[in-house]
Amino acid sequence: MLLVRTTPPRPVDVTRVFPELAPLARPAIRLHPRPGAPSVEESSVGGPLLWPVDEPWPHCEASHLHVDSGFRESPDDVRLTRRLRVRWHADHSRGGMTPEEEAVKERNAARLAERLDAGPPPADCPVPMLPVAQLYLRDIPLLRPPGEADLLQILWCPYDHDPDHKPSTALFWRSAAEVADILATPPEPYEVNYEGYLPEPCVLAPEAITEYPNSLDLSPQMRLMVGDWSRWQAADADVDGSYAEYPQEFYDVHLADAPGWKVGGWPPWGRTDPEPRYCAVCEVRMVPLLTIASREWDGGEGHNWAPQEDQAAAIAAGHCCGQSPSQPTKVEVGSTDNMQIYVCPASPKHPHTDLIQ
């Protein structure tokens, strides 16, 4: 992979200030998705999958009768709208659509009219799932595949599901070498519940990092420790004095778990306190597999997690050609939250689980 992204060094060596945290270090791989045109042979977010032509494409079998977000657009219309935003942002003097864009719009409208003439699909009609991520073991060595598998594929339903109002997810492990004939044109859903449920195709720049837990994952004693300003002063840590009253905030914002799409590491909390997940088969505590993020970094001081190669764009806090540098995938879950996917450490074949944070 030619794309390279590098997380800036943390402003403070946290284990120098708090050696007690060293045993809690966890490896993680930041995926650093960036808009591109990945192939089926590449790891990607929202890209095409290496899917066998003789294997049924996954469909969500749940009822979608209750779903009514008010958003009614086909995946093709969402893609067209995104292309128009990019072009109009790049050239404000050009109004309207090009002949090619008009043709795409008319084709989409004709397809929609044809579907409406046939009536809406039944609420219990299976819905084709959308590709979310494809990860090859050669790029993401933290993956723990079963048997000879070397490829993880993640898809989701483009509708919210009760009780947590999030897309339902599906995971597939496979051996890439066993895929001979590839499904060239997978089925797509009639519509998407939200624009943010249609990932933009992105190439990846995987980067191995070391993470420490969010303060909510620390024991009460350790939480008091990182909130003790005298400890930071005694270690002569270069921390802005404005954090003297709440040094724990400095730890969480600058030193703990990294934001953005990542494999492994520590989970990002915020909406709720930590919620341990346990395997439905063997009752072992599950571990984070993948964080699906609405943003690669937060605004304000959170931009210090932006890769060195993106710092100028992050500090500008603007958009480049209609693309928000902190939201390359266009994915948005919850209220600009994260979806965490957990797996059983005893067996990757056991059912996974997920939650929004």
Question: What pLDDT digit, counting tens, does each position of 317-351 carry?
Answer: 555 555 678 999 999 998 889 999 999 999 989 99
pLDDT of residue 95: 61
Tell me, what amino acid is at 347?
S
Residue 81 CA, distance from chain mean position: 21
pLDDT of residue 9: 95
pLDDT of residue 91: 63
Tell me, what amino acid is at 198?
L
Which CATH architecture is the domain 14-67+120-356 placed in? Roll (2.30)
pLDDT of residue 240: 85
Question: Does position 48 have pLDDT exceeding 60, yes or no?
Answer: yes
pTM greater than 0.75 (yes/no)? yes
d(CA 207, CA 313): 20
Cis peptide upstream of residue 276 (ω within 30 degrees of 0): no
In terms of C-beta density within 10 A (0-12 exposed, 13-18 middle, 19 or more buried), how is residue 40 classed?
middle
Enumerate the domain spans of the chain.
Answer: 14-67+120-356
**Band (190; pLDDT cuts 50, 70, 90):** confident
Which residue's entry shows tokens 């990002």? 268
The pair of structure tokens assigned to 68 is 């009514």
d(CA 170, CA 333): 16
Section 166-186 average pLDDT: 96
- 3-state secondary structure (DSSP) of residue 86: helix
Section 52-68 average pLDDT: 85
d(CA 68, CA 270): 27
Question: Does position 81 have pLDDT exceeding 70, yes or no?
Answer: yes
- What H or E segment, with its residue span, contains residue 331? none
**Band (124; pLDDT cuts 50, 70, 90):** low
In terms of C-beta density within 10 A (0-12 exposed, 13-18 middle, 19 or more buried), how is residue 88 classed?
middle
For residue 121, CA distances in Å to 70, 117, 213 come to 17, 11, 45
Q: Are strands 262-264 and 59-60 parallel, antiparallel or unpaired?
A: unpaired
Q: pLDDT tens, 10-21?
A: 999 999 999 999
Least confident residue range of 16-25, 113-122, 196-205 = 113-122
Q: pLDDT tens, 260-300?
A: 999 999 999 877 889 899 999 999 999 999 999 999 998 77
